[in-house]
């Protein structure tokens, strides 16, 4: 986009609005110009979700309303199911795309894969381990946690000891805990579970990792990947995305206790997903049609265009290194204790001694960059979080990463 639009985006939008009816712009190059102007008028959104989305994704959201059983929509939904498999690197998994947020993924696991009174083990590397625990207990599971120290992931030794002490129906991990920026070694967790307790299902909360961290569902032996639209997948919030392995589907099919949820029941959703994938519409509850179109657009960019998925992951690593190196040079300390356990899609940084959120977060806003405060209850007021997922990390032309690192330098130079 030209500097002119960046400098006067609001003017540009109003000129376009006067020039023609907004509805007439849809689908033509003016429409994308219009969306680019709107995006450029906003500060760079650098929180760890919801993230910035591409103009093409914004454009897909603005399509006219359409029925979920329309002939044009059915293959779009089917493609989304197939491309979801590609993103998590699975050929055998069963995807579920359901209107809802990431939390609905926890409900799907808790409602369909564990029966009241069965044991679940939660590997706790931050805030989201507690919420997943809460959700599992809501459905009657007996939950134990193995808790890592703040800034660390649970060790394989601690996991092995827990698995040897009790039989668990499932083990959950938060691939990236968004409250700490800690990355759990999902491959190692799955290996340990398969070696020590092969019948235990391995559940991965990938809300803050899918499409920004390396993830090989089939090769690593993950039974469920649950995620959401608003982070690495590059779409606004509203879509719960779950992929279940054949072993997980078998556990679901052989359960004897009734499913304690109506909306999250795979008995309702499995036939719907199968129908759409085979090219037929089906109805249980109305899917978010426009969001599915937007998801289709983003998945097409991720799986069919340049950069490839592998290159995309590498670009997230590079963006992450850029932020983490800049922060280290400014003397800022990461919440993640070990660089090998630090996420690539976000960075959590302690404030320098004597500073708090009110001294720092508004200064980022003055630099045109929105960052997030702390979330982990025990250190909430001592740190902040920067997101660098999706187009922010992948599309260099946007200049988001430069804005973020420039803002880091400006904020902390002026705080000295
Ligand atoms: C790791 C993780 N899991 C689960 C969730 C819950 O997702 P949602 O807020 O979309 O319900 C989040 C939200 O940020 C998250 O970061």
Same domain, yes or no: 25 and 121: no
pLDDT by residue (tens digit) across 258-280? 999 999 999 999 999 999 999 99
Is 1 a domain residue? yes
The CATH number given to whatever domain includes residue 214 is 3.40.640.10
Whether residues 172 and 268 fall in one domain: yes
pLDDT at position 19 is 44
Residues 167 and 292 in one domain: yes
Q: Which atom of ligand 1 is nearest to the CA of 131?
A: 4
Of 98, 101, 102, 126, the residue with max ligand 1 atoms within 8 A of its CB, to mutate for a pocket test, comes to 102
Is residue 413 pLDDT above 60, yes or no? yes
b/e map of 223-259 (b: 16 or more CB within 10 Å)? bbbbbbbbbbbbbbbbbbbbbbbebbbebbeeeeeeb
Task: Specify whether 80 is located in the same domain as 159.
Answer: yes
pTM for this one?
0.93
**One domain for residues 27 and 115:** no
Residue 312 has pLDDT above 50, yes or no: yes
Query: Residue 40's pLDDT is what?
Result: 67
Residues 33, 135, single domain; the answer is no
- Residue 311 maps to a domain: no
Taking only the tens place, the pLDDT of each residue in 360-405 is 999 999 999 999 999 999 999 999 999 999 999 999 999 999 999 9
Q: Are residues 150 and 29 in the same domain?
A: no
Q: Structurally, how many domains does the chain consist of?
A: 2
**Is there a domain that residue 216 lies in?**
yes
Shared-domain flag, residues 17 and 114? no
Is residue 325 domain-resident?
A: no
The residue range of the domain holding 8 is 1-42
Tell me the CA–centroid distance for residue 56 and ligand 1, in Å.
24
From the centroid of its chain, how far is CA 403?
22
- 191 compared with 44, residue with greater pLDDT: 191
- 102 domain residue, yes or no: yes
Q: How confident is the model at residue 148, as a pLDDT?
A: 98
Reported as a pLDDT band with limits 50, 70 and 90, residue 37 is: confident
Residue 267 phi/psi, 5° resolution? -60, -35
In a domain, 331, yes or no: no
43 pLDDT band (50/70/90 cuts)? confident
Q: Rounded to the nearest whole angstrom, what is the distance from the C-alpha of residue 104 to the centroid of ligand 1?
A: 9
Residue 196 inside a domain? The answer is yes
pLDDT category at 18 given cuts 50, 70, 90 is: very low
Q: How far apart are CA 58 and CA 271, in angstroms?
A: 30
Residue corresponding to tokens 């760079």: 44
Give the pLDDT confidence score for residue 45 in this predicted structure: 86
Task: Report whether pLDDT(204) > 80.
Answer: yes
Q: Is residue 91 part of a domain?
A: yes
């Amino acid at each position: 986009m030209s500097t002119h639009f960046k400098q006067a985006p609001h003017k540009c939008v109003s000129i376009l609005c006067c020039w023609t009816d907004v509805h007439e712009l849809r689908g033509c190059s003016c429409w994308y110009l219009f969306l680019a102007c709107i995006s450029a008028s906003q500060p760079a959104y650098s929180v760890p979700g919801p993230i910035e989305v591409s103009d093409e994704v914004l454009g897909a959201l603005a399509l006219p309303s359409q029925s979920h059983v329309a002939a044009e929509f059915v293959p779009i939904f089917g493609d989304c199911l197939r491309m979801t498999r590609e993103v998590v690197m699975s050929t055998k998994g069963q995807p579920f795309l359901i209107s809802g947020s990431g939390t609905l993924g926890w409900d799907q696991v808790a409602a369909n894969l564990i029966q009241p009174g069965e044991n679940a083990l939660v590997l706790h590397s931050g805030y989201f381990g507690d919420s997943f625990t809460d959700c599992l207990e809501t459905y009657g599971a007996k939950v134990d946690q193995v808790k890592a120290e703040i800034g660390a992931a649970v060790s394989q030794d601690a996991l092995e000891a827990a698995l040897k002490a009790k039989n668990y129906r499932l083990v959950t991990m938060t691939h990236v805990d968004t409250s700490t920026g800690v990355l759990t070694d999902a491959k190692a967790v799955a290996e340990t579970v398969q070696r020590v307790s092969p019948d235990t299902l391995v559940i991965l909360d990938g809300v803050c990792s899918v499409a920004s961290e390396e993830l090989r569902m089939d090769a690593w032996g993950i039974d469920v990947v649950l995620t959401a639209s608003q982070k690495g997948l590059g779409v606004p919030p509203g879509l719960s995305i779950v992929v279940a392995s054949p072993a997980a589907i078998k556990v679901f099919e052989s359960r004897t206790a009734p499913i304690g949820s109506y909306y999250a029941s795979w008995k309702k959703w499995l036939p719907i997903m199968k129908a759409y994938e085979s090219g037929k519409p089906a109805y249980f509850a109305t899917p978010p049609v426009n969001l599915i179109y937007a998801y289709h657009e983003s998945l097409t960019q991720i799986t069919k265009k340049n950069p490839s998925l592998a290159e995309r992951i590498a670009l997230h690593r590079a963006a992450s290194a850029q932020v983490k190196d800049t922060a280290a040079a400014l003397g800022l300390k990461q919440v993640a204790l070990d660089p090998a356990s630090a996420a690539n899609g976000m960075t959590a940084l302690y404030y320098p001694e004597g500073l708090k959120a009110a001294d720092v977060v508004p200064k980022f806003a003055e630099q045109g960059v929105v960052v997030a405060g702390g979330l982990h209850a025990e250190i909430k007021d001592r740190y902040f979080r920067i997101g660098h997922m999706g187009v922010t990390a992948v599309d260099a032309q946007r200049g988001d990463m430069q804005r973020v690192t420039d803002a880091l330098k400006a904020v902390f130079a002026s705080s000295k």
